Amino acid sequence: MADAANIQNTSHGPLSSSPAHFLVVAYGIQSHINPAQDLAHRLARINTTTSVMCTLCTHVAAHRRMFPSLASPDEETTNGIISYAPFSDGFGDRISKRAMLSDEERECSRRASFESLSSVISRLAARGRPVTCIVCTMAMPPVLDVARKLGIPLVVFWNQPATVLAAYYHYFHGYKELFASHASDPSYEVILPGMQPLCIGSLPSFLVDVTNSRLSSMVIEGFQELFEFMDREKPKVLVNTMNELEAATLTALQPYLQEVFAVGHLAAMSTKARIHLFRHDKKSYMEWLDTHSERSVVYISFGSILTYSRRQVEEILHGMQECGRPYLWVVRKDGCDEDLSYLVGNINDNQGMVIEWCDQLDVLSHPSIGCFVTHCGWNSTLESLALGVPMVAIPNWSDQPTIAYLVEEKWRVGTRAHRNEEGVMAWKELTKGVGFVMGDNTVAAEIRERANALKQKIHQESITAEISENLQTFTKSMIDN
């Protein structure tokens, strides 16, 4: 977990003037931190008549893993473009497992987060860098508390697809009962205003959870508070997507959310170092990829949160042996429900390599990669789209079923492999999915062609002025206000 590129300690003195200062607050997991960091960098570099400063603020546990070489682990740092400052939710070196907390513990954590964030803002002001706007990733109720109490404008950074934003919005504005009444029928189609039909099985999992799990209840509570805030305060909403991907949905949202800005960006085109909260494997996986022919390797990764059960590992291993294709498989050291060290011993070195973590952009951009077996996290999906890699989508929870729908039905750059009632993807589903997108047939060839064509279109949008203009319009409006 090397420090982000060229991070150094800071001791900011008072500034001669007070530029606009965005405090970008991100939940302390990798899937939130990287898009938040990217947004902060672009805001800080935006070409406006007034200079802009950005500070990325995340949980102290994540901050310490991002910058392990700091003399004092909780101090503020900078890379010369943006600053980084931690806040505490009362859980020190671990990100709180919200589903495991009692109501009292949740309230204590919320108060601790409020007090810590308030202290960060006071400290920045004392250093001559008063915060003029807070940008918050998704639903973080303590950040809403801070914005209300201190009277600082708040902007929502929605780091999931616009289609997911629309689903949540309409759930809280008239569609809750419809979703609930058909939650047990995954094929039932729902038509949201201005959008194509979505089946229940393609909606975000928390909106149609028939188990009424504690986690789902807490997530819904958090989002309900966010949307009540949005109804009342009418904040600007920045969505991590692109018009080329979701133009119709963005248009359909305009009457409801008023100021919605598509600010998606291709991480694959960035020269900025990404943040990794996990150690890269020391195995020479890039050299191993070099030994394989073009579009021959299956890349498998379920991201930074999901864990594998023994049964799922065995099904994937069996499936890849049946496929007979070479594969690179990411299995985090903390990503298994039990000791699966036997796994490595069952790998044929000529066919597969198992690694703990990697630079995914490097892997996906390697010419030997033929498809990506993915959990359909939004960051992973955007990276795959940006690099033209077809996908086998294996969604699990949250926004992943909706993203799998976009991959398979809207963009048609992959296929969905289904989990059984126990949440396990059987080996036959895996082999069928890999064969579907990597086969030597017309269907697979068309998927590859569409993936490459979409890659070219979104790269073209990324290098045009549209995304930058959206950011400039947003930034100018915040400065003028």
Locate 268 and state its tokens: 């694959």
Check: CB of residue 236 under 8 Å from CB of residue 474: yes
Coil, helix or strand at residue 305: coil
Is 366 designated active site?
no
Check: CB of residue 3 under 8 Å from CB of residue 66: yes
Coil, helix or strand at residue 200: helix
Q: Quote the CA–CA distance of 406 and 401 in Å, as a whole number.
A: 9
Question: Which amino acid, one-letter code, is at 118?
Answer: S
- Residue (of 136, 156, 134, 137) closest to 31 by Cα position: 137
Check: CB of residue 372 under 8 Å from CB of residue 404: no
Q: Quote the CA–CA distance of 46 and 270 in Å, as a whole number.
A: 15
- Number of continuous H segments (helices) and E segments (strands) in the chain: 17, 17
* DSSP-assigned letter for residue 20: E
Q: Quote the CA–CA distance of 139 and 165 in Å, as a whole number.
A: 12
Q: Quote the CA–CA distance of 289 and 363 in Å, as a whole number.
A: 8
Choosing from 12, 21, 32, 280, the catalytic residue is 32
Check: CB of residue 158 under 8 Å from CB of residue 138: yes
- Residue (of 392, 413, 276) closest to 327 by Cα position: 392
Residue with tokens 């007034």: 50
List the Cα angle 233/154/50 in 5-degree steps: 120
User: Rounded to a whole number, what is the distance in angstroms from the first to the last CA of the chain?
Assistant: 40
- Residue (of 164, 187, 4) closest to 80 by Cα position: 4
* DSSP-assigned letter for residue 373: E
Question: Which amino acid, one-letter code, is at 455?
Answer: K
Q: Quote the CA–CA distance of 379 and 31 in Å, as a whole number.
A: 7
Check: CB of residue 236 under 8 Å from CB of residue 261: yes
Coil, helix or strand at residue 299: strand
Residue with tokens 């918050």: 136
Coil, helix or strand at residue 261: strand
Sequence-distant (≥ 6) Cβ neighbours of residue 165 within 8 angstroms: 158, 237, 239, 253
Coil, helix or strand at residue 424: coil
Kind and range of the H or E run holding 54? strand 52-59
List, by residue number, the catalytic residues. 32
